[in-house]
A and B are shown apart, each in its own frame.
Chain A
């Protein structure tokens, strides 16, 4: 295949992908492997910034599909309660990456449901405070923990304004290859980084949301579904007062 042909093919692919996204957007992104799905061989760059728009008006009361999907995708369902642990205490110690929150407006009484997770800040307080640099922001905007150098001091958990992080309180017998996990380190939502690095373009929570409340994509690409949705609908950042420029935005909160 000649170079021009290759380019032509790439443009064609991009066009069809955009067309497909427009046709079902906003909200719907099918979990499908792109044509060129393969593990990443080049370093991620700042050209992409991954992010989400969550439409709270679509998030259904009592639904926890995103939580279940996240637990399964990232092996959180494999974290067993240690023998002899007290259940009520263990519930407060077990890890969670995404959680369902139900809010009531103090004035109007309006009820809102939304999922909360790591907000993938551009200026993450957890990264600022980490003494070893284990808590870091990847070039493509994903805030994550390098478990190899995490000493388990939990200062990031003190610093996170979203209470997004979990400490692993017990030995983990079974773990997934793509989500290593062990006693004594801190972790949180990484936007299904293993999927993105393997050429996929969706997160587990997004795929699981049958109400299409979650739109995920590249915030730097004006043509991405998430950028278009952000342009079209009003949205907010949680704790916008801190000016952290979060990668996760919400509408209709």
Chain B
């Protein structure tokens, strides 16, 4: 448990570093602070809950969406991407699974495979 917690702390630190580290080499052309999430206080759940449980949330939601057609609830992968994708200098969205970006940053670090985007779009949807 303690070990688990320290990993989480470390992760949180790493994420923080990614988010505010000036001129992060990974971020490519993405411009810091251009994601909608950067202007918000909190995600759809408190940050520690999201860090720990985001996959459970979207996995549960995916079944509701595909089988029951529910698309208007608070957890959704499209919602994650919409809010967390940064923009590059020209205002174009940068994929969340690009190296160092919101999803890939952590997933690469912990070597957890990120399969969503072999089918799902990694940039905010056309509205």
Question: A103: CB under 8 A from chain B?
Answer: no
Please report which residues of chain B, range 45-101, place their CB below 8 angstroms from some CB of chain A when the two chains form the complex.
Answer: 62-73, 78, 81
Shortest distance between the CB of A182 and any CB in chain B (Å): 3
Shortest distance between the CB of A114 and any CB in chain B (Å): 28
Classify the secondary structure of A's interface with B.
Answer: loop
Give the residues in chain A near B119, CB-CB below 8 Å.
147, 172, 175, 180-182, 185
Q: How many Å lie between the Cα of A136 and that of B120 in the bound state?
A: 20
Question: A232: CB under 8 A from chain B?
Answer: no
Residues of A within 8 A of B (CB): 38-44, 136, 138-140, 144, 146-148, 171-172, 174-178, 180-183, 185, 193-194, 196-198
Q: How many Å lie between the Cα of A48 and that of B119 in the bound state?
A: 29
On whether the beta carbons of B125 and A40 are closer than 8 Å, the reply is: no
Partner of A180, one of B69, B71, B73, B121: B121
Partner of A43, one of B68, B120, B121, B124: B68
User: Which of chain B's residues has its CB closest to A136's CB?
Assistant: B67
Assuming the A-B contacts A175-B119, A175-B120, A177-B125, are A44 and B68 also in contact, with contact meaning beta carbons closer than 8 angstroms in the complex? yes
- What is the size, in residues, of chain B's interface with A at 8 Å between Cβ atoms? 21
Given known contacts A41-B72, A176-B125, A180-B121, what 18 new A-B pairs fall within 8 Å (CB)?
A38-B72, A39-B70, A39-B72, A40-B70, A41-B73, A43-B64, A43-B68, A138-B68, A146-B63, A147-B119, A148-B66, A171-B118, A175-B120, A177-B81, A178-B78, A194-B71, A197-B70, A198-B71
Shortest distance between the CB of A78 and any CB in chain B (Å): 10
Assuming the A-B contacts A146-B67, A181-B119, A182-B118, are A176 and B72 also in contact, with contact meaning beta carbons closer than 8 angstroms in the complex? no
